[in-house]
Amino acid sequence: MAVSRTGDGRAPANVDTSVASIARVYDYALGGKDHYEADRQTIEQVRRVAPEVPLLAVDNRAFLVRALRFLATQTDVTQFLDLGSGLPTAENTHQVVQRLRPESRVVYVDNDPSVVAHGRALLEDNEFTMFSPADIFDPRSVLEDPSIRSFLDFEQPVALIQNGTLHHHDDPSRSPQSIMQAYVDALAPGSFVVLAHFFDPEDGDSPLARRMEDVFVHSPMGSGVFRTRAEVQAMFPGLEMVEPGLVICASWWPDGPLLKPLAPVQRCIVGGVGRKP
């Protein structure tokens, strides 16, 4: 059972603890406390084929923090739309950007019941941050949400974040590329997209990526697609990529020199930042 924030060990209302939650699986991988047996089983199953699998979540989060620092210090963007925000961590989007640009406005979007319960409580005292329980894989429901439209000005640049989310979308009726096209179409020129995704490098690490994918998809979580470079790059439609482009997350402007070789798992997640001209 998870360690409850209320201290009574009970799950929030409407939370099915018998089914793994994407947000809680990430929380477990990051060393958090808000997870249950089904969530832990997912990571432990993948660990059998990739012992260092938690590094996927670690590198994903570290990339996001670096990208946010870049946006807050080297661009004029002060509006952030974080899609699939997940459970609160030590460095949430609003904490990173508002530390550097206090006037920044942040909207979190996530319809996971565990995230809704924690997200609203976390943000209730922050007037520059809000939470919406919309479906991030339905751009219309997000972009037409009155509360989001009143909080962010879509006539001005927005930083849209899809960090570690689209590899959990595998609906043949709507591709992740078409989802991103809908979002990008709604952004003003000068907006940015931050995106990270599980990666099939189509080289010697490809069998590892496919083994992890097979376990993720057949785990209690039920999702986790490793896509190719061409497939992920197509999620930045018409955008100008910020250097160094779409790269392994650990290699996107690291905070210092890489003193040891990357683990094979770390070569199976990529991230990038694109700007709408």
Confidence grade of residue 60 (pLDDT, cut at 50, 70, 90): very high
Q: Is the pLDDT of residue 190 over 80?
A: yes
pTM of this structure: 0.89
Average pLDDT over residues 247-268: 94
Which of 39-43, 118-122, 173-177, 181-185 has the weakest average pLDDT? 118-122
> Domains in the chain, ordered, with CATH?
53-275 (3.40.50.150)
In the chain, what percentage of residues exceed pLDDT 70? Answer: 90
Q: Is the pLDDT of residue 234 over 90?
A: yes
Determine the pLDDT at residue 9: 42
Decide which of 129 and 41 is more confident: 129
pLDDT digits (tens, 9 = 90+) for 65-124: 999 999 999 999 999 999 997 776 668 899 999 999 999 999 999 988 777 766 666 667
Handedness of CA 178, 196, 35, 225 (dihedral sign): positive
Distance of alpha carbon 111 from alpha carbon 116, whole angstroms: 6
